[in-house]
Amino acid sequence: MVPHWIAGERVEEAAAETVGVTESATGRVVGRVPAGGGEAADRAVRAARAAFGEWRHASLGRRKTTMFAYRELLNARRDELVDLLVTEHGKVADDAAGEVQRGLEVVEYACGIPDLLKGEHTENVSTNVDSWSVRQPVGVMAGITPFNFPVMVPLWMLPIAIACGNAFVLKPSEKDPSASLRLAELAHEAGVPPGVVGVVQGTGEAAQTLLTHPEVDGVSFVGSTPVARHVQRTAVEHGKRVQALGGAKNHAVVLPDADLDVTADALVGAAYGSAGERCMAISAAVAVGGVGDALAPAITERLKGLEVAAGTNPDAHMGPLITAEHRDRVAGYLAAGVAEGATLAYDGRDHPIDGDDGGHWLGPSLFDHVTPGMTVYTDEIFGPVLVLLRADSFEEAIDLVNRNRWGNGTAIFTNDGGAARRFHHEVEVGMVGVNVPIPVPMAYHSFGGWKESLFGDLHIHGPEGVQFNTRGKVVTSRWPDPTERGIDRGFPTAR
Ligand code: NAD
């Protein structure tokens, strides 16, 4: 059983009903988590509330030093985290190392918390009256995270939440839960007091307990759109602030002047890296003005050379999918796309696999001549499937992106600066790349999409992460001169 982390200790729960955690490359069960987890969530929240009482008063110097120590420990344990990602998620080792690095960078950002929490001061807002603003912690923050980034996404939340002075309870994905436990243990080793960080293993039931718990003040969620929508509504109904990041269908628009080889390389990396199980994966390419006729074969050629193998294989480009059910669901879209009239230019079901028969394998696939009504376009497939659409004009391509219900990431490939500028100005998407296929903002910017990719107002990490994890307060102060007396019957105005 993968333990919870409650009040600074591993807690093994003897749950009657459990769900298995599988090694994606073999299908072997390598761990179990409780099928519920609600009772543990309640205990972790109560421990967090108790710990918040002291932690909120911890000096900025102490919080900063703790973050630096955490950074050093995570850095020292990089390989251990990478191994957990390769086993439970199935990422190839280079990809897993990149994930750990991007998570670590949020910890580095949080090391600067004394600077990030500086307020503003105005002298003499009225005669002998001063005002200043401060940001204070919110209380107990909860995080609910998806399977596809078991280190990075928890680290989008945890370092900023606690550096701001909150306590933080995490409910990681039940599909690859072990990395979260290590993240909490290392935070403890770095000097984070017991209870300030909790991890609850379990399913949606544990998450539901966090969403409705009266002692939880805020919720950061990352996952699929239907759950994100539910999380936002439930959290708001229960009086909490919430940021809920949802799913995506990220478009790459390819203009005729783009360098074909550079673009095809970029699209293959962005569509099939991590087996397409990235919220910023490019899953739809829009070829403008006939460039699709050259682009489709350029991609197909590259797919033939992709080595699909376990992440432990140093030659692997792409690993397995997260579960057998998910693999079957993705494969189902290959049949559906053909039935709807798309051209299956490359069929991942026939791709050679170098792996254990029990693994959740599916090779890379390319659909060409896809139209907007087809389910391979309207649904988030979240697997190694790229769909190629054709647009007659640049305007038609932008319109296609803007009509899509998601707006997480997008990219344009071109050598025309004016077209690129028009694209990033007009496109209704939260994160935009210009010849950059996966424009994930660095830790000191904020990450988040538009439309059905984000429910709530504030993006995650960076300055908006600090804002989400703090409450603003403005103090107005006067030290009266006893000679200046008298009752003021008016509403206060500056004098
Ligand atoms: P998911 O929505 O199935 O699960 C996410 C988390 O929610 C898990 O911890 C799960 O246990 C929990 N959960 C499930 N049902 C719940 C419920 N009813 N109430 C509360 N919590 C519940 O997502 P997933 O399959 O783990 O991850 C893949 C999805 O996440 C994709 O749609 C992907 O696009 C999205 N994603 C988005 C971003 C982003 O930044 N926008 C980042 C990563 C992943």
Q: Whose CA is nearest to atom 26 of ligand 1?
A: 146
- The answer as to whether 442 is a domain residue is no
Q: Whose CA is nearest to atom 23 of ligand 1?
A: 223
Q: Check pLDDT > 90 for residue 96.
A: yes
**Per-residue pLDDT tens over the stretch 369-419:** 999 999 999 999 999 999 999 999 999 999 999 999 999 999 999 999 999
> Given ligand 1 and candidates 33, 145, 148, 321, which is best to mutate, with the most ligand atoms within 8 Å of its CB?
148
Length of the chain: 495
Where residue 234 sits, what CATH number does that domain have? 3.40.605.10
Residues 191, 150 share a domain:
yes
Residues 210, 258 share a domain:
no
Q: Whose CA is nearest to atom 32 of ligand 1?
A: 224
Residues 348, 273 share a domain:
yes
Residues 171, 48 share a domain:
yes
Give the Å distance between the CA of 108 and the centre of ligand 1: 26
**321 in Cβ contact with 362 (< 8 Å):** yes
Where residue 409 sits, what CATH number does that domain have? 3.40.309.10
Q: Whose CA is nearest to atom 36 of ligand 1?
A: 223
- The answer as to whether 441 is a domain residue is no
Catalytic residue among 279, 362, 397, 438: 279
Tokens coding 477: 């102060």
Q: Is 41 in the pocket of ligand 1 (CB under 6 A)?
A: no
Residues 263, 236 share a domain:
no
Q: Is 219 in the pocket of ligand 1 (CB under 6 A)?
A: no
Q: Average pLDDT in the 124-143 region? A: 97
- The answer as to whether 482 is a domain residue is no
Residues 212, 324 share a domain:
no
Confidence tier at 21 by pLDDT (50, 70, 90): very high
- The answer as to whether 116 is a domain residue is yes
Residues 212, 255 share a domain:
no
- The answer as to whether 319 is a domain residue is yes
Which of 380, 407, 434 is where one domain is finished?
A: 434
In the block, which residue shows the tokens 């436990």?
181
Q: Check pLDDT > 80 for residue 484.
A: no
Q: Check pLDDT > 90 for residue 287.
A: yes
Q: Is 279 in the pocket of ligand 1 (CB under 6 A)?
A: yes
**Strand-strand pairing, 454-455 and 241-245:** antiparallel
Known catalytic residue at 279: yes
Q: How many CA atoms lie within 13 A of 9 on its CB side?
A: 7
Which of 434, 462, 486 is where one domain is finished?
A: 434
Give the Å distance between the CA of 227 and the centre of ligand 1: 6
Residues 236, 336 share a domain:
no
**Per-residue pLDDT tens over the stretch 352-371:** 999 999 999 999 999 999 99
Residues 165, 18 share a domain:
yes
Which of 434, 466, 490 is where one domain is finished?
A: 434
Q: Is 453 in the pocket of ligand 1 (CB under 6 A)?
A: yes
Residues 197, 48 share a domain:
yes
- The answer as to whether 448 is a domain residue is no
- The answer as to whether 444 is a domain residue is no
Structural domains counted in the chain: 2
The pLDDT score that the predictor gives to residue 492 is 84
Residues 134, 39 share a domain:
yes
> Given ligand 1 and candidates 2, 102, 171, 224, which is best to mutate, with the most ligand atoms within 8 Å of its CB?
224
Q: How many CA atoms lie within 13 A of 317 on its CB side?
A: 21
> Given ligand 1 and candidates 19, 91, 222, which is best to mutate, with the most ligand atoms within 8 Å of its CB?
222
Q: How far apart are CA 8 and CA 259, in angstroms?
A: 53
What domain range includes position 290?
250-434
Q: Average pLDDT in the 253-265 region? A: 98
Residues 404, 275 share a domain:
yes
- The answer as to whether 226 is a domain residue is yes
